[in-house]
């Protein structure tokens, strides 16, 4: 026998599932494959609670095989199929585990036969949820392999809902039941949508039309709702109670009124003997769903790979590049800044020094206006040395402080957490002060005093002696001697004062010279130190920046390499995924071809 | 102070506290006024559960549904009023009156040009005795308007929830209306109605009996019992039609009943047969279609059977139909669970409203009010009684057999009037009442100390003792 096309497509889909590591989907499809190859045609009857599902099955086979009641009644599924004689049994469900298919390989499920007449009540009393009942009845409708499956109503709890969906998964065609006392609810439309996705051959059955006067309007509006929802399914209106009454009385008119004639005709036309077509459509729906599930993550990956978002490597590379540029820009800036700052600093420091030394000189001059250097020089020298030392210290401390500040500022500018070099190059400040040479101080000795006194008294003696000679007195007389003594004393006095003045001037100039010397030598040293520190700072920061730049550059290179590798990898992966997607799309086309060549033989055909 | 009094004074306090917030003031003032209004009962359910029919059945007149131009429905309030009046509340405009009139117990109203999405609600004033006890709110189908649930839990004091069988969706909704801290503490404001009971089992003649059996089963369902106070099966159609049956209708029914039994039965197989031209009865097809609309297939079956069994007058038949429809049980349940507990339910709504304000606009000064609110919710004896009732109902607390029934009765499970609580029938004298209360008090004091009972059971007994003490004080005041 020729392999039907749907089987090849199904097998290819299973292969695709395995290739994409979706063993779960493959298992589902394999189970489905076994059932599709089975000549039986499974038609579950599903719907919300209390819509008349069981009664519909009973009316279809004209036998009370399913329990019916006013409350939610059906708790376990019942399968109804053809048998030579009426049989009934309660069968334990085979647990579905992994990919193992239900089939001849599995052990025969536990089966307990029950009397046919009691099957409905037996199903009613069982508390178990992991069993179902199987009923065989001799009916011509079922002889073609039709299996009707009555299911628990939806909305009655998760266990029952699961049983219903399990029945749905094995369906070749589905009857969805909704009663005529209400129009299709959103939840029911959703259900039909779900069912169509799993198994496209669906008929909606409107039940209980016997008790609704305006059921034709409900039917029309339901058809409109189905059409509005884009669901191309047929709707048949029936009344099970009228059909059962017809069966009881043998009234053919009643049977026609029940609507079951149309329902049976629809089943014969669209389900019975349509095994291949049904299998083909089921496969198409299922395989399309599975390929969609396979395609979805692939497409996502593809979209991602095509560069919707950057890879981590690329992000790093960009970050490193940006960092490097920033650093370069900053390094130009920090050098200028260092130059400017140091120039400012040096002028400030010099000014400070000058200011301080000038103050010292002024104090010294004031001091020597009164003091006699001969007597106070030592004391003065001590003071001067101390003041200069203070000045040097303060000035240098300031210098160091300013440098600290500058380096911090630059460090901030470079924005690095690097240590700041120690600017306090501990120079020996005091060597610049040097020895204060004492000014030469003329001593006014006794001999000198005597000499000056004599020289002064000589003039006075002579002056007054000559004057008194005119009065007849000898040159040397008491007057002239007195005058000589007075003159001598005065000149000694004068001489002493002028000598003090001279000494003070000398001391002043000595002090000034000394301070100038200090200013010169210390100032030079200070500038040198500043320059030294500046150089040291420059070297330090250049090296730091270089090191950092080198690190970042290295990282950038690495990142670049990684990004390139990533890109290549991505390109390769993109190609791979695209190939996979193409393969699946090809499969999907074949799946669609399963249904398209012949116009869909829907229940409406 | 009674619960209602406490809640009122809390509302006043809140008004004082929030006097600078116009929104809160407006909201609180509305709820102060609401305390004095009749109870608001919302009729809620999925599509085609018979909400409007039930409103008609309860009122006994044809006033629902009010359908706007596009066939949609909006929240419709039916209030007691001296004369018929209808006010529309558009969403974007001030309310306005529309012409409304009462003709033959029917509401005629002009909704020309209005669409459901433009209307917030319609308020109908209608002269009717039933509405004096409770304002009824007819709602659009739950699945068609998503915010019905939240509107109902804010606007209504109590809910009549309609369902045709217990579906998961129904449980979900019942849970959602109690999804609030205070509502959870006091799950006392819902009744479930098993609606369209006449259609159970395809409208068999015993449909209503079967529906009552199903309602009983639901009452014992733990999932449902903890969410509602009671489950009642009602055929709204039968009740509404019974209340408004005309003489012509009765005549037609009598004519039908006079037909040979075989003929009538065969034409009552289905609506198609009954309404068809060829039915072998002497009532013309138009009348038959009208009868179907008013009674339903089951109603016609039941009514003709009753007529054949000897209901000679329209009044007799109407009374019997209404009695069988289950609406009387529903009214009784409404009275017992809602109108008797008017004050408690009103207080509950006010507490919910106050909680909204305290939560949305928290302020330090309101701290004391928040504590007071919590205190009332957890300690008010009225709530405790209802909580105990719900616990006994839902099986969270179980008492040994004779005690359980008595406890339920004493805390007001069969009605809050003194005789109902004490299980006395007729008009007991003051002395009898005194004796019964004293007896109950003594016995339950013993139970409260009974160490054979568990901790939860003794706590339940203490609630009963407190109820007995309350009754004692009430009695000695006379």
The verdict on A358 and A253 lying in the same domain is no
Do A408 and A554 belong together in one domain? yes
pLDDT exceeds cutoff 60 at A425: no
**What are the pLDDT digits (tens) for B196-207?**
999 988 888 899
A601 falls in which pLDDT band (50, 70, 90)? very low
Beta strands (DSSP E) in B32-174 are: 39-45, 75-80, 85-90, 96-98, 100-103, 106-109, 119-126, 134-138, 158-163
Residue B135: per-residue pLDDT: 95
Give B288's pLDDT tier (boundaries 50, 70, 90).
very high
Into how many domains does chain A fold?
2
Cα–Cα nearest to A82, from A108, A98, A96, A63: A63
Q: Does A578 map to a domain?
A: no
* B12 occurs within a structural domain: no
Distances in Å between the alpha carbon of A394 and those of A347, A429, A489, B52?
16, 11, 52, 100
Inside any domain, residue B347 = no
Q: Are residues B205 and B290 in the same domain?
A: no
Cβ–Cβ under 8 Å, residues A92 and A110: yes
pTM value is 0.72
- Looking at the fold, whether B93 and B182 belong to one and the same domain comes out as yes
Q: What is the pLDDT of residue A105?
A: 43
**Is B211 found in the same domain as B114?**
yes
* Domain range enclosing B101: 37-238+327-339
CA separation for the pair A332, A542 (Å, rounded): 10
A574 touches B: beta carbon within 8 Å: no
Give me the DSSP letters along A478-521. Answer: HHHHHHHHHHHHHHHHHHHHHHHHHHHHHHHHHHHHHHHHHHHH
- Position A399 in a domain: yes
- Shared domain check, B335 and B319: no
Can you state the angle between helices B430-448 and B401-410, rounded to 10 degrees? Answer: 130
Helix then strand then coil, % of chain A, to nearest 5: 65, 10, 25
What pLDDT band is residue A540 in, cutting at 50, 70 and 90? Answer: confident
**Residue B460: inside a domain:** yes
B287 inside domain: yes
Residue A45, strand partner residues: A150, A175
The answer to whether B67 and B184 have CB atoms below 8 angstroms apart is no
Q: Are A147 and A40 in contact (CB under 8 A)?
A: yes
Spatial distance between the Cα atoms of A79 and A88, rounded to a whole number of angstroms: 10
Inside any domain, residue A459: yes
CA angle (A229 as vertex; A223, A232 as ends), nearest 5: 60
Per-residue pLDDT tens for B375-399? Answer: 888 888 888 888 888 778 766 788 8
Task: Note whether A365 and A216 are same-domain residues.
Answer: no
Pair (B96, B175) in one structural domain: yes
pLDDT band of residue A101 (cuts 50, 70, 90) is very low
H or E element in which residue A133 lies: strand A131-137
Q: List C-alpha distances in Å: A428 to A389, A393, A499, B292, B445.
A: 11, 10, 39, 123, 102
**Contact status, residue A243 vs residue A59, Cβ threshold 8 Å:** yes
Total domains in the fold of chain B: 3
B244 against A540, higher pLDDT: B244
> Six-digit token pair at B146?
């998503």
Q: Percent of chain A at pLDDT above 70?
A: 89
Are B191 and B226 in a shared domain? yes
pLDDT at A437: 64
Lowest mean pLDDT among A329-333, A491-495, B49-53, B240-244: A329-333
Residues B154, B155, B160, B162, Cα dihedral to 10°: -80
List pLDDT tens digits, range B417-438.
888 888 888 888 888 899 999 9
| Any domain includes B431 | yes
Q: Which residues contact A522 (CB under 8 A, 6 or more apart)?
A: A353, A392, A395, A429, A432, A433
Chain B residues interacting with chain A (CB cutoff of 8 angstroms): 46-48, 143, 164-169, 196, 199-203, 207, 210-211, 213-214, 217, 269-273, 275, 289, 292-293, 296-298
| CATH number, position B99 | 3.40.50.300
pLDDT, greater one: A307 or A534: A534
For residue B317, the tally of other CB atoms under 10 A from its CB is 21
Looking at residue B55, what is its pLDDT? 95
B233 in any annotated domain? yes
More confident position, B37 or A551: B37
Alpha-carbon distance A343 to A355, whole Å?
A: 18
**pLDDT reading at A417 higher than 70:** no
Which of A119-123, B327-331, B453-457 has maximum average pLDDT? B327-331
Q: Is the pLDDT of residue A419 over 60?
A: no
Query: Which of A70, A154, A155, A243 is the best mutation test for B, with the most CBs of B within 10 A?
Result: A70
Dig out the tokens for A372 from the structure. 């006699």
Residue finishing a domain among B295, B324, B353: B324
Chain B residues with beta carbon closer than 8 angstroms to that of A155: 167-169
Name the closest residue on chain B to residue A242, using Cα atoms.
Answer: B269
Nearest CA-CA partner of A168 in A8, A282, A289, A17: A282
Q: Is the dihedral of CA B420, B423, B425, B430 positive or negative?
A: negative
Which pLDDT does position A240 carry in this prediction? 92
Within a 13 Å sphere around the CA of A559, how many CA atoms are in the beta-carbon half?
21
Average pLDDT on B18-41 reads 92
Model confidence over A341-379: pLDDT tens digits?
A: 888 888 888 898 888 888 888 888 888 888 887 788 888
Distance from CA of A242 to the nearest CA of B (A): 7
Instruction: Give residue A422's pLDDT.
Output: 53
Domain co-membership, A142 together with A249: yes
Contact B271 A213 (CB under 8 A): yes
* CA-angle at A379, arms to A374 and A380, nearest 5°: 80
Is residue A501 located within the same domain as residue A363?
yes
Is position B380 within any domain? Answer: no
* A218 and A346 housed in the same domain: no
Residues A246 and A345 reside in one and the same domain: no
List b or e across B409-437, with b for residues whose CB sees 16 or more CB atoms inside 10 angstroms.
bbbbbebbeebbbbebeeeeeeeebbebb
Does residue A597 have a pLDDT over 60? no
**Does residue A409 lie within any of the structural domains?**
yes
Instruction: Name the minimum distance, in Å, from the CA of A178 to any CA of chain B.
Output: 13
Q: pLDDT tens digits, residue range A7-24? A: 888 888 888 888 888 888
The domain in which residue A265 lies consists of 40-94+107-272
Q: Where a domain ends, among A246, A272, A298?
A: A272
Looking at the fold, whether B58 and B86 belong to one and the same domain comes out as: yes
Would the pLDDT of A569 be above 90? no
* B166 and B285 together in one domain: no
Q: Give the list of residues 6+ apart from residue A549 with CB closer than 8 angstroms, or none.
A: A324, A327, A328, A331
Nearest to A211 among B168, B202, B275 (CB): B202
A239 to chain B, any CB pair closer than 8 A? The answer is yes
Taking the C-alpha atoms of residue A515 and residue A497, their distance in angstroms, rounded to an integer, is 27
A150-187 residue pLDDT tens: 998 888 777 778 888 888 888 899 999 999 999 999 88
Query: B84 and B227 in one domain?
Result: yes
Residue A434 pLDDT class (50, 70, 90 cuts): low
Around Cβ A372, how many Cβ atoms within 10 Å?
A: 14
- Name the nearest CA neighbour of B194 among B227, B236, B149: B236
Say if residue A261 is in the same domain as residue A334: no
Same domain, B334 and B315: no
CATH of the domain at A149: 3.40.50.300
Do residues B221 and B73 both lie within one domain? yes
Shared-domain flag, residues A237 and A361: no
Same structural domain, B131 and B71: yes
Q: Is residue B27 part of a domain?
A: no
pLDDT per position as a tens digit, A280-300: 888 888 888 888 888 888 888
Looking at the partner chain, which of A55, A183, A208 has a beta carbon nearest the beta carbon of B48?
A183
Tokens of A264: 């049976």
For residue B478, pLDDT beyond 70: no
Do A211 and A323 fall into the same domain? no
Indicate yes or no: CB of B297 within 8 angstroms of CB of A254.
no
**What is the structure's pLDDT at A426?**
46
How far is it, in rounded angstroms, from Cα A407 to Cα A423?
A: 9
Within this chain, do residues A196 and A342 fall inside the same structural domain, yes or no? Answer: no
């Amino acid at each position: 026998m020729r392999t039907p096309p749907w089987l090849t497509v199904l097998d290819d889909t299973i292969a695709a599932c395995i290739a994409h590591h979706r063993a779960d989907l493959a298992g589902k499809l394999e189970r489905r494959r076994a059932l599709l190859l089975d000549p039986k045609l499974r038609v579950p009857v599903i719907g919300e609670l209390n819509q008349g599902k069981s009664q519909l099955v009973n009316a279809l086979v004209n036998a009370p095989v399913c329990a019916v009641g006013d409350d939610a009644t059906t708790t376990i599924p019942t399968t109804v199929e053809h048998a030579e004689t009426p049989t009934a049994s309660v069968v334990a469900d085979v647990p579905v585990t992994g990919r193992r298919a239900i089939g001849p390989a599995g052990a025969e499920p536990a089966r307990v036969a029950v009397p046919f007449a009691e099957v409905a009540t037996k199903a009613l009393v069982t508390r178990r949820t992991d069993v179902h009942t199987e009923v065989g009845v001799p009916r011509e409708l079922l002889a073609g392999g039709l299996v009707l499956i009555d299911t628990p109503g939806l909305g009655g709890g998760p266990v029952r809902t699961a049983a219903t969906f399990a029945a749905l998964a094995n369906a070749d065609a589905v009857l969805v039941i909704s009663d005529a006392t209400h129009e299709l609810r959103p939840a029911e439309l959703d259900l039909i949508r779900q069912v169509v996705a799993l198994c496209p051959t669906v008929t909606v059955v409107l039940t209980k039309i016997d008790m609704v006067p305006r059921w034709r309007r409900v039917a029309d509006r339901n058809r409109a709702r189905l059409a509005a929802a884009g669901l191309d399914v047929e709707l048949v209106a029936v009344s099970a109670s009228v059909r059962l009454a017809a069966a009881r009385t043998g009234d053919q008119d009643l049977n026609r009124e029940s609507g079951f004639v149309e329902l049976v005709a629809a089943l014969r036309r669209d389900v019975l003997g349509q095994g291949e077509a049904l299998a083909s459509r089921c496969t198409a729906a299922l395989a399309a769903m599975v390929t969609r599930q396979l395609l979805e993550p692939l497409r996502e990956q593809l979209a991602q790979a095509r560069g919707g978002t950057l890879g981590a490597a690329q992000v790093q590379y960009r970050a490193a590049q940006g960092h490097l540029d920033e650093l370069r820009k900053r390094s130009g800036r920090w050098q200028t800044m260092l130059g400017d700052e140091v120039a400012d600093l040096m002028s400030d420091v010099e000014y400070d020094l000058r200011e301080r030394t000038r103050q010292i000189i002024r104090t010294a001059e004031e001091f020597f206006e009164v003091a006699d250097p001969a007597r106070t020089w030592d004391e003065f020298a001590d003071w001067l040395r101390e003041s200069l030392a203070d000045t040097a210290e303060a000035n240098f401390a300031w210098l160091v402080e300013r440098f600290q500040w500058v380096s911090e500022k630059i460090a901030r500018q470079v924005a690095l957490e690097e240590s700041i070099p120690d600017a306090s190059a501990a120079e020996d400040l005091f060597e610049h002060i040097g020895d204060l040479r004492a000014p030469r101080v003329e001593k006014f000795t006794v001999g000198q005093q005597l000499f000056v006194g004599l020289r002064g008294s000589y003039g006075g003696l002579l002056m007054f002696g000559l004057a008194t000679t005119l009065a007849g007195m000898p040159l040397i007389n008491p007057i002239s001697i007195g005058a000589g003594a007075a003159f001598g004393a005065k000149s000694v006095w004068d001489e002493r004062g002028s000598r003090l003045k001279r000494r003070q001037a000398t001391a002043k100039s000595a002090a000034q010279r000394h301070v100038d010397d200090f200013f010169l030598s210390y100032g030079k040293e200070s500038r040198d130190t500043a320059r030294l520190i500046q150089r040291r700072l420059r070297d330090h920061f250049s090296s730091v920046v270089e090191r950092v730049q080198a690190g970042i550059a290295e990282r950038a290179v690495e990142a670049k390499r990684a990004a390139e590798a990533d890109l290549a990898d991505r390109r390769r992966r993109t190609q791979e995924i695209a190939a996979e997607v193409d393969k699946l799309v090809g499969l999907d086309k074949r799946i669609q071809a399963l249904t398209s060549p012949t116009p869909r033989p829907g229940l409406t055909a | 102070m009674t619960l209602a009094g406490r809640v009122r004074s809390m509302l006043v306090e809140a008004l004082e506290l929030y006097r600078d917030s116009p929104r809160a003031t407006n909201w609180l003032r509305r709820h102060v006024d609401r305390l004095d209004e009749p109870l608001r009962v919302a009729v809620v359910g999925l599509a085609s559960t018979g909400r409007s029919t039930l409103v008609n059945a309860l009122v006994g007149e044809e006033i629902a549904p009010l359908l706007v131009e596009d066939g949609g429905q909006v929240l419709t309030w039916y209030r007691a009023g001296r004369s018929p009046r209808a006010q529309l509340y558009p969403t974007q405009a001030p309310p306005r009156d529309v012409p409304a009139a009462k003709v033959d117990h029917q509401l005629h109203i002009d909704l020309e040009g209005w669409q459901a999405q433009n209307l917030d609600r319609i308020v109908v004033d209608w002269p009717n005795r039933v509405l004096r006890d409770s304002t009824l709110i007819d709602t659009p189908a739950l699945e068609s308007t998503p915010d019905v649930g939240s509107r109902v839990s804010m606007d209504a004091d109590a809910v009549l929830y309609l369902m045709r069988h217990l579906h998961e969706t129904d449980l979900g909704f019942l849970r959602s209306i109690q999804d609030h801290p205070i509502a959870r503490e006091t799950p006392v404001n819902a009744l479930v109605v098993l609606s369209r009971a006449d259609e159970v089992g395809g409208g068999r003649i015993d449909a209503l009996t079967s529906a009552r059996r199903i309602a009983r089963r639901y009452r014992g369902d733990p999932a449902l019992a903890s969410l509602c106070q009671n489950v009642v099966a009602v055929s709204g159609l039968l009740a509404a039609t019974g209340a408004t049956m005309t003489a012509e209708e009765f005549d037609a029914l009598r004519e039908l009943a006079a037909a040979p039994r075989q003929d009538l039965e065969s034409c009552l197989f289905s609506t198609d047969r009954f309404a068809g031209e060829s039915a072998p009865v002497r009532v013309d097809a138009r009348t038959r279609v009208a009868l179907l609309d008013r009674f339903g297939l089951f109603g016609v079956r039941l009514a003709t059977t009753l007529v054949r069994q000897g209901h000679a007058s329209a009044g007799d038949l109407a009374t019997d139909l209404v009695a069988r429809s289950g609406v009387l049980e529903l009214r009784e349940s409404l009275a017992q669970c809602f109108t008797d507990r008017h004050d408690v339910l009103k207080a509950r709504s006010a507490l919910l409203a106050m909680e909204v304000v305290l939560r949305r606009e928290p302020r330090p000064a309101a701290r004391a009010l928040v504590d007071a609110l919590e205190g009332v919710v957890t300690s008010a004896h009225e709530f405790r009684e209802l909580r105990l009732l719900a616990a006994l109902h839902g099986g969270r607390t179980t008492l040994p057999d004779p005690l359980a029934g008595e406890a339920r009765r004493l805390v007001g499970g069969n009605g809050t009037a003194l005789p109902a609580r004490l299980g006395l029938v007729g008009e007991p004298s003051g002395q009898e009442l005194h004796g019964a209360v004293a007896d109950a008090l003594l016995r339950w004091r013993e139970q409260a100390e009974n160490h054979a009972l568990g901790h939860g059971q003794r706590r339940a007994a203490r609630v009963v003792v407190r109820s007995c003490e309350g009754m004692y004080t009430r009695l000695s005041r006379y």
